[in-house]
Amino acid sequence: MEELWPRPTPEVADAIRSLCQLLLTDTDVLTEAIAGPSLTAQNDPALLSDASLVEEDRHLNRSELVQWLTSNVQQPGRRVEPYIGPRTTAYIHDLVSRGIAPDFVGGWRVALGIGWRRWLEECAARCENSDLLVEVLDVSAKSMVQYAVDSVSALREASLAAAMGNADAEAIALIQLIACGAPITEDLAEGRLRYRMSRAHVGLVLWTDDPQQAGAVDEVVAAVRSASAGRSALVARASATSRWVWLSDSATPDLRQVEKIVAKAEDVRAAVGRPGHGLDGFRSSHQDALAAQAMVIRLGSTRRFTAYADVELIDGLTKDRACAQRFVTKTLGPLSEADEVLRNALLTYVQCGFNTTRAAAKLYAHRNTIERRVSRANELSVVKVEDNPTHVAAALLVLDIAPDIVGTALS
């Protein structure tokens, strides 16, 4: 690449190299500081609503940060060439195929502001010589700003290349419009997608957390289709690591077989929406599935199969992780960190309508054993189950989905 400013002096180069080496040890924290505000600034609801794409955008932020820091360790203060690797290329392809056009300039403007503030803090703390500080800031500002300009240009070029090579864009764009609530008629949707809308639907999101296991997602999709004989199935590539699936039938589709298939695939997870009918059901079940996926990822849960109908209350409670943590701690107190067996006994007892015999049968334990566990769990809980069973059950459900939430620091 053409160099646009003079090389820094050896002293300035050494200072920049040392600062970059320091920040490379803290890239995860810096990425988290940048990723959220940058994503919001890109101002695209379709991107914000898809947890798989959000994760890919966070990875892109990290890659861009590491690229600038490592390049400035090797060649301090020079122009840095953007890196558009295979994962970024796949991410851009997914955005284009779904008609998502983020404001890369807006995202970079926010990211640059946050990154520059952190850089200023480190420079001010470690450059005791004022003349050296001015030189370091002057050179690094040129490098950072040019890197932002070059990166936006590279992302736009990748988007253009993806658009030119995308043969399925029309169908995927139509699915995106339906999912976002555009006024599409059932006849138009059925004709374009070759999928019957005037039936009962269940929306699923299938995904993997490991990009190397993307093939496993397609294997699960194939197995789900095979097990859904007699039903209609529609599959859309949502991202490199996730697929959107709709199953329809004259009656509400039974998803027990899907749960069994997912259970056998170690690297694949599923989120399922509530059943719905017609075009509105197609849309709402999909939105439910996306919400369930986002909740699982937000809480760092290891759940493999999540039905939104089972976690709708928990989704609302945990939109703010810190608030959810406080709710659990204030409700359960010592019980939140007690043996999982005690918590499970109390939760099952509440779910069984305070019937010890039914809870014992469900847990395959003796009635007296369940009584002892429930009694001990209630002793440990700050809020007693007889005083507020709704709060106790909700807090226990949060822990059931995200057992590590109490052990993490409040932000």
Neighbours of 245 (CB within 10 A): 24
To 5 degrees, how large is the angle CA 96–CA 98–CA 102?
Answer: 60
CB 258 within 8 A of CB 270: yes
196/104 same-domain check = no
**H or E stretch including 129?**
none
- Per the structure, the count of domains in the chain is 3
57/140 same-domain check = yes
pLDDT tens sequence for the chain (411 residues):
678 889 999 999 999 999 999 999 999 999 999 999 999 998 888 888 888 889 999 999 999 999 999 999 999 999 999 988 888 888 888 888 777 888 899 999 999 999 999 999 999 998 888 999 999 999 999 999 999 999 998 888 888 777 655 545 667 778 878 877 788 888 888 888 888 888 888 999 999 988 888 888 988 988 888 777 667 788 888 888 888 899 887 777 678 888 899 989 888 999 999 999 888 999 899 999 999 999 998 888 888 999 998 888 888 888 888 888 888 999 999 999 999 999 999 999 998 999 999 999 999 999 999 999 999 999 999 999 999 988 899 999 988 888 888 865 433
18/154 same-domain check = yes
In a domain, 210, yes or no: yes
As given in the structure block, the two tokens for residue 338 are: 């007690």
**Structural domain ending residue among the three candidates 130, 164, 198:** 164
126/181 same-domain check = no
In a domain, 4, yes or no: no
Res 166: pLDDT: 53
Q: Where are the alpha helices (DSSP H) in 333-405?
A: 340-351, 356-363, 367-380, 389-401
Which residues are within 8 A (CB) of 267 and not within 5 positions of it... i.e. 6 or more apart? 208, 209, 210, 213, 216
46/144 same-domain check = yes
CA 10 – CA 14 distance, rounded (Å): 6
How does pLDDT run across 267-298, given as a tens digit for each residue? 899 999 999 988 899 989 999 999 999 999 88
127/183 same-domain check = no
CA 288 – CA 105 distance, rounded (Å): 31
As given in the structure block, the two tokens for residue 52 are: 């798989």
CATH number at residue 335: 1.10.10.2840
| pTM for this entry | 0.61
174/158 same-domain check = no
CATH number at residue 278: 3.30.70
**Structural domain ending residue among the three candidates 281, 314, 347:** 314
How does pLDDT run across 228-273, given as a tens digit for each residue? 766 778 888 888 888 889 988 777 767 888 889 998 988 899 999 9
Q: Long-range CB contacts (< 8 A, 24+ apart) of 134-142?
A: 135/8, 135/9, 135/11, 135/12, 136/8, 136/12, 136/15, 136/16, 136/19, 139/5, 139/8, 139/12, 139/16, 139/76, 139/77, 140/16, 140/72, 140/77, 141/116, 142/4, 142/5, 142/77
- The end-to-end CA distance of the chain, in Å, is 41
In a domain, 2, yes or no: no
Res 238: pLDDT: 80
Res 133: pLDDT: 92
CB 149 within 8 A of CB 72: no
Residue 306 β-bridge partners: 271
With H, G, I as helix, E, B as strand and everything else as coil, classify residue 262.
helix
Domain assignment of residue 252, given as a range:
168-314
